Amino acid sequence: MILTIIQISFYKSILWQRYNFMVRTGKINLRNINLNKENR
């Protein structure tokens, strides 16, 4: 039981970090796309 709980919490933390990273990069990419459209 203890191992599975640790594995689940570890897996959730990895997913959360990946989600946060995707959100950050997604916002940055959206900003860059908007800037590129304005420059054109």
Amino acid (one-letter) located at 29? N
Residue 12 has a pLDDT of: 94
Please give the average per-residue pLDDT across 1-6, as a whole number: 81
- pTM: predicted TM-score of the whole model, two decimal places: 0.50
Dump pLDDT digits (tens) for 10-27. 999 999 999 989 888 888
- More confident position, 19 or 40: 19
Q: Which residue has the tokens 């420059």?
A: 39
Sign of CA dihedral 28, 34, 36, 38: negative
- Over pLDDT 70: what percentage of the chain? 95
